[in-house]
Each structure stands twice: as structure tokens, then as C-alpha cells.
Amino acid sequence: MQLRQSQRKKAKIKMALQGSSGSGKSMSALLIAKGLTADNLSKVAVVDTENGSSDLYAHLGNYNVINLQPPYTPEKYIEAIDICINAGMDVIILDSISHCWDELIDFHSKLPGNSFTNWNKVTPRQKAFVDKILQSPAHFISTMRTKQDYVLNQKNGKYVPEKVGLKAVQRDGVEYEFTIVFDIDIKHFATASKDRTNLFSDKPEFIITQGVGMKIREWCNAGTDVDEVKQAIKECTSQEELNTLYKENLSLKDILNQQFVDQQNFLKSKINSNPNNFSKNGTSNN
């Protein structure tokens, strides 16, 4: 365990769109995907739980579709995600993840015994599903249905229900797992209820277009790609090149120190194995 300097790396966006039926979540997700892939929808897959509704937007381009059939278990979603990743998809749209939670609620209701302790049979399955989204090497856009939420407030000595806004049909707190959450109203206007990128927070409501995805792609690519630096280290052919690369990536020295040391030792071994290439004073004979 040791301290290291902070470093923003290149990222894969994990975002959610929540809204009522008819708000345009599916269309919005595909438009964002167009921007994320620079208009290459062949690298986009839709995991469709809406009875094939994703095909309604085929005019946007040639994206890929997996039609999920009930029961909509977390394990089925995970299997579908693995298929998409193995096929090299850059963006995976889960439309929608509300069906997964509905399935888990139904599963819980049918379990015998103590209702509270039975959540121990539900929570690990939900966690495995969410972790699959967060840890997979692809951009994810998850849609969630919403319903009107109410609370009981006391007025004139009586408790009356009052609307407090829309609540996503998913486990409470799931929105905290995403980098961006867009709330979309029935007129297709979106606002950011959560935004760690700060691209859309505190901004007026807007219509989602391909440009939204382009902004997110630029943000994702703005960080340092550790894998690219690792490859650059391996391609260094001299100590001078290695030193220059090291200075350019000082913030990554704690992460990549071993790679730099290994390449330095490799370069030294090449010199030692070819002593005829160097004179006694260390300069090249060429």
C-alpha cells in the first residue's frame, strides 16, 4: 500500500438514461452511441428486452442486436454482454435493465422463508450484473424505466400522498454506479441528474443528439492510455528514448516502474551481448 500521484486515464463511459415509456430512451441511446463510435454503428450492440423494438431505429445505421427473452435474469444479461465483448463491440446498449430488477423482485417474492434474509440470495446476483457493466472494456448505455414516486406528507392533521418526481425501476442507489445519468422527460428533453464529467451538469435541458456522444468520447479519450505507454516502453531502442518517455509520464512512474526497469535491463543485455558494436570508451564504432 503506497501513495501515488493522481492520473486521469482513458475511460469507457458507463452511463444511464432514465425516463418513462415513450420518452425516447432507445433512440437517444443509439444517437449517443453514434457519437461515441464516430458514426460507426457496426461497433454498437443493443441488448434488447423490449420485444424487438430496437429494430425500429434501423434507419440510423447497421448496429447489432441481441434479443433477450424472458426470464430476464442477471445471468442472461451477463451472457449477452460477453457475446458483445467477444465480438469486439465498442458500445453496448442495455435496453433496458429495469427488466433485470423486475425478474429479481419476482424471484425474491417466490422464495420461502424469511423475506429479509432471502435478500442474501438476490443481492449477489444483482452485484455480479452491475460489476459486469462496470468492469467490461466497452462503453455502456443502460436505459431504465421510471415511475412516478410519492411520499406521505401531513397536511391539516392528515397524511396525503404527494408527487416527488420520477423513480427508476431498478435497485435503489444503482444510479451511483454510473458516471452520467440523464433524465429524459416525455417531450424528449434531457437533464443530467448525475455527471462526473461535468460536461452536462448545471446545464439547461437539451435534446440528445449525436453531438452528446461526441462530447463524451472526447472526455473519455482525454486521459492517458496506460496500455499505450506500456507498448511505447517496449518499443524503445535506446536508453535515451526510454529516459525521455519516463520524463513524459512521471505521473505514471509508480504504475509503470517495473516496465521501465525491465526495458532498461533488456537494452543493457543487448549491449552486453554485442560488445563489438561499442568501443572501450562506450561510443559506437560505426
The DSSP symbol for 116 reads T
Domain ranges of the chain: 14-221, 226-277
Q: What average pLDDT is seen over the chain?
A: 88
* pLDDT tens digit sequence for 73-124: 999 999 999 999 999 999 999 999 999 999 999 999 999 999 999 999 999 9
Q: Interior CA angle at 250 toward 198 and 228, to 5°?
A: 70
Q: Cα(30)–Cα(43) distance, rounded to whole angstroms?
A: 11
The domain defined by 14-221 folds into Rossmann fold (3.40.50)
Could you tell me the pTM of the whole model?
Answer: 0.76
Rounded average pLDDT over 202-218 = 95
Strand partners, 67: 48
Give the position of cell 452511441: 33
Question: How far is residue 279's CA from residue 235's CA, in Å, rounded to a whole number?
Answer: 25
CB 242 within 8 A of CB 248: no
**Strand 139-155 vs strand 64-67: parallel, antiparallel, or unpaired?**
unpaired
Query: How large a percentage of the chain has pLDDT more than 70?
Result: 88
Read off the amino acid at residue 69: Q
Q: How far apart are CA 17 and CA 149, in angstroms?
A: 17
Give the separation between CA 48 and CA 35, rounded to whole angstroms: 20
* pLDDT surpasses 80 at 161: no
Q: For residue 5, what pLDDT is reported?
A: 64
Least Cα distance to 141 among 131, 132, 133 occurs for 133
Alpha helices in the chain (DSSP H): 25-36, 74-86, 98-109, 123-135, 210-221, 226-234, 239-248, 253-273
